[in-house]
Structure 1
Amino acid sequence: MRTACLAMLATFCLFASPLVGAATGTTYSEEVPLWPEDSQVLKDGIRALAREEWALTRPTVLVYRPRRNPVHAAVLVFPGGGYKGLGIGAKSSLGLYGADVCRWLTDTGITCILVKYRVPNTGCNWNAVAGRHETPKVPMALQDAQRAVSLVRFNAAKYGIEPDRIGVMGFSAGGHLAVLSSTAFNARSYAPIDEVDLISSRPDFAIPVYPGHLTMEHKNRTPKALAAQELNTDIVVSNDVPPTLLIHAKDDPVDPSYYSEVYARELRKAGAEVELNVYETGGHAFGVRKQGKDSDRWTQDAVGWLRKIRIL
């Protein structure tokens, strides 16, 4: 998929850079590896990404804790980046290392878990050389997302959260990852390796923000007009999908708003709880930064929705 991040990787995306600490008013309290160093999943990923110059091969989570009035809930945040890099670089609209989106969440009392999943090409992505969309045989990004949900739930007491109040939020490609993690929880994408993997990976709610890769266009199906109205077959919906809030802008030039509309339609058909907020203006990759556009109010609307589903 062609995303804004592909054109500006150096400033907007993070690759395998070492983390010292966010240079903002909000910093994470700890960085936790997702996989044991001797696990086969990690070893296989390192081997598969060995030829990628800027690969992120050791996925982690960054834990941002609320300073006051915790509501004992957590949101795992998946950055965008087209599955090429992670959109948490110096000029990202999520803030350096996701600090801005996590500041918003922690200010509401929610623990924010920023997921640094493996890249590149670890989920559905655009191959510019071949001129087509590709889906990897081993979905390493989904493996990391499922492991992250289980790991946070396994450590719920440690983080001061309730194990049934853990949600996912993702932006662009990360929105696609939020969709996958909230629909594919009945089938783990790797062989369980320890007691963490005995814990459910099903999120309790999901907030995909301008998600990509949601239609059969991303399976290269033609004619494109019909493919654009069919849900990607990688996404299997049911009435077990957790409550979902979809955020999109009508003028998004990268991931058109009909992606979210198609997904919302299929969720409703399946009997799942879904709310779709499509804003007139906002473009793509607005994150949590204010632009003077309609999408500026999405964070406020999301807080209202979280209250409605009794997370806040």
Structure 2
Amino acid sequence: MRTFAFFLILGLAFTTSGRSQETIIPLWPNEVPLRIEADETEIQEKGDILKISKVQVPEIEVYLPSKANATGQGVLIFPGGGYHILAYDWEGRDIAKMLNTKGIAGIVVKNRLPTSASLEKNHLAPLVDAQRALRLVKSMAKDFNLDTDKIGIIGFSAGGHLTASLGAHYDKELIAPVDEIDLTKAKPNFIALVYPVIQFGAASTHMGSQTALLGENPTQEWIDFFSLEQQVRDDHAPTILFHSTDDTAVPVENSLSLYNALRQKNVPSALHIFPHGGHGFGLAPEIPLVNAWPKLLTDWIRSL
């Protein structure tokens, strides 16, 4: 635990002494679970979008609003990228900063990706990191001025699949607990999904995401486990979905199938389908109508 405490102090010091308002905290205190040695390093490609792949040290990057504006609400953000990369600013940092303007803490999760060579049980590593990220944030709620009953999750595309997986499988014991933080309940208080991958083994499946997570010849057991319209539970967290009809990468049937499953279980939920917008629109600053989704989201969060 000493190593973990050191990183926490370092991260918090960075917040107060640097120009930026973010705090970066590693998810794991010492050894990272499911990691194996490999000749691989993290890659960051800085173009129009910051793309991160081959993540070796999973972490959270915390953006906090001013205390005067803080609502006590927080959202963990899972960027998309087909389970190959993380669109880290487009669907991560930019989302966190948007949430800050509404008094909501934004926590970007840099989780490991199943295409990494430094993993065993590649299909479980992203979800293991997601569970840990939510547990870590809940355990540090006081430090971040958060209410533990007001912490939700949002994901985009394949990050939406990971987000929905966390919502469905938050209590699955995928690894043995490494410390007391792993005893914290990893249930989100609300879930937001933006053009999410939901269905595996279906006509509308985004095969790039399925293959990246489960390989070329997955078993039916894991297809079902990660077909999230089949995994809606009676205690599922309230959920909101955003999608566009003309999304040719991840068809709108993904969101429709989950919404119908939520409705059948009487889970409080909302679905917004836009006629245009395609896939990967992010905050959609140049797309009329679609660019209303951030306000729809924050209004919905306030309504909870």
For the aligned pair, the TM-score class normalised by the smaller chain equals: 0.7 to 0.9
Deviations along 1:102-154, whole A, 9 cap, x unmatched?
A: 111011001110000012437xxxxxxxxxxxxx6541110110000000001
Q: Report what 1:303 is aligned to.
A: 298
| Superposed displacement of residue 305, structure 1 | 1.1
Letter in 2 for 1:78: F
Asked whether the 8 Å contact 2:206–2:249 carries over to 1, the reply is no
Q: Report what 1:112 is aligned to.
A: 106
Distance in 2 separating the partners of 1:264 and 1:28: 36
| Superposed displacement of residue 216, structure 1 | 2.5
Asked whether the 8 Å contact 1:79–1:86 carries over to 2, the reply is yes
CA pair 270-161 structure 1, distance change in 2 beyond 3 A: same
Distance in 2 separating the partners of 1:268 and 1:79: 26
Instruction: Tell me the C-alpha RMSD between the 2 structures.
Output: 2.4
Asked whether the 8 Å contact 2:284–2:290 carries over to 1, the reply is no
Matched residues, number = 253
Deviations along 1:185-225, whole A, 9 cap, x unmatched?
A: 1213221111001100000000011001424235989xxxx
SS in 1 for 2:86: coil
SS in 2 for 1:61: strand
- Asked whether 1:85 is paired with 2:94, we answer no
- Asked whether 1:45 is paired with 2:35, we answer yes
- Asked whether 1:184 is paired with 2:174, we answer no
Point out 4+ residue stretches in structure 1 off by more than 3 angstroms.
49-54, 218-221
- Asked whether 1:281 is paired with 2:280, we answer no
Asked whether the 8 Å contact 1:249–1:279 carries over to 2, the reply is yes
Deviations along 1:36-73, whole A, 9 cap, x unmatched?
A: 2235x0xx3243x6558841111000010102410011
Sequence identity percentage: 32
Q: Report what 1:259 is aligned to.
A: 254
Superposition pairs of residues 55-204 of structure 1, within 5 angstroms: 55-67=54-66, 68-88=68-88, 93-94=90-91, 98-121=92-115, 138-204=123-189
Distance in 1 separating the partners of 2:265 and 2:122: 27
| Superposed displacement of residue 249, structure 1 | 0.7
SS in 2 for 1:253: coil
Distance in 1 separating the partners of 2:73 and 2:42: 37
Deviations along 1:203-261, whole A, 9 cap, x unmatched?
A: 0000011001424235989xxxxxxxxx9542321121100001111111111111000
| Superposed displacement of residue 308, structure 1 | 1.7
Asked whether the 8 Å contact 2:259–2:271 carries over to 1, the reply is yes
SS in 2 for 1:254: coil
Distance in 2 separating the partners of 1:279 and 1:232: 28
Distance in 1 separating the partners of 2:182 and 2:269: 28
SS in 2 for 1:37: coil
Distance in 2 separating the partners of 1:172 and 1:27: 28
Asked whether the 8 Å contact 1:219–1:232 carries over to 2, the reply is no
Distance in 2 separating the partners of 1:207 and 1:291: 22
Distance in 1 separating the partners of 2:140 and 2:193: 24
Distance in 1 separating the partners of 2:84 and 2:159: 11
Deviations along 1:168-198, whole A, 9 cap, x unmatched?
A: 0011111111101111012132211110011
CA pair 192-296 structure 1, distance change in 2 beyond 3 A: same
Distance in 2 separating the partners of 1:246 and 1:258: 12
CA pair 50-189 structure 1, distance change in 2 beyond 3 A: farther
Distance in 2 separating the partners of 1:28 and 1:60: 16
CA pair 232-305 structure 1, distance change in 2 beyond 3 A: farther
Distance in 2 separating the partners of 1:119 and 1:137: 8
Distance in 2 separating the partners of 1:99 and 1:293: 22
Relative to the length of structure 1, the TM-score reads 0.75
Which shifted more, 26-35 or 105-114?
A: 26-35
Q: Report what 2:217 is aligned to.
A: none
Distance in 1 separating the partners of 2:299 and 2:287: 20
* Uncovered stretches (5+) of structure 2, i.e. residues with no partner: 1-13, 44-53, 211-222
